[in-house]
Amino acid sequence: MQGKSMDKFFANLHLVLAVGLAAAIALIAYAHPDPSMLANYVLRWLHVFFGILWIGLLYYFNFVQIPTMPSVPAELKPGVSKYIAPKALFFFRYGALLTVVTGLSVAHVTGYLVAALTLAPDYRLIGIGMWLALIMAFNVWFLIWPAQKKALGIVEADADTKAAAAKTAMIFSRTNTLLSIPMLYSMTNANFG
């Protein structure tokens, strides 16, 4: 009986995520019992979680899917383009959005939002990381996603438009891969109070 319960639990991604979220918040509350700092710690954790989701999918697309698709037999490509890519792009876009929202929220709650965005001397490195992330999120929502909708046939487009859209999506996805490298450095090495 216990095996079936565990199978049912782990088969439900939303339940696993909810329990993981509850466990993380409980750990944060235990490790940092100061209630005035709880929002800051939860937002930081969520920022990292959504950032991993976003950048992990960015790297999946660029390191795995884009280079592999030319070698996938034509009859198997719809498995990726109709089922895997749209789902991955959903988590990719919302991972980007929630990374930005939680990151800006951390900066606001901690009191350095304006200083970072204006590249004040003590916040220049985190500010550069924030601006790179904002550019990348813009690319996701306003360049990559509209192009992918055409390339994947989510919206009506002729063959030439689909091919051009696939190229646009790839170029801006690679642009984001490029920008992610200095962005990650900026985010992980910003040293301020």
Tokens of 4: 């079936």
Q: Are 168 and 146 in contact (CB under 8 A)?
A: no
| Residue 32 banded pLDDT, cuts 50, 70, 90 | confident
Judged against a pLDDT cut of 50, whether residue 193 lies above it is answered with no
Q: What is the pLDDT of residues 65-75, one digit of tens each?
A: 999 999 999 99
CA dihedral 65, 91, 110, 178 (to 10 degrees): 20
pLDDT of residue 192: 59
Cα-to-chain-centroid distance, residue 104: 14
| Nearest CA among 139, 132, 135, 130 for reference residue 61 | 139
pLDDT of residue 63: 97
Judged against a pLDDT cut of 60, whether residue 14 lies above it is answered with yes
Q: What is the pLDDT of residues 151-192, one digit of tens each?
A: 999 999 999 999 999 999 999 999 999 999 999 999 999 875
Tokens of 117: 């965005």
pLDDT of residue 155: 95
pLDDT of residue 1: 53
* Residue indicated by tokens 């500010």: 127
Q: pTM of this prediction? A: 0.91
Q: Which residues in 19-32 are b (16+ Cβ under 10 Å) and which e?
A: eeeeeeeeebeeee
Q: Are 41 and 106 in contact (CB under 8 A)?
A: no
User: How far apart are the two ends of the chain, measured CA to CA in Å?
Assistant: 52
CA dihedral 26, 94, 126, 116 (to 10 degrees): -100
| Residue 95 banded pLDDT, cuts 50, 70, 90 | very high
> Among residues of the chain, what percentage have pLDDT more than 70?
98
| Residue 20 banded pLDDT, cuts 50, 70, 90 | very high
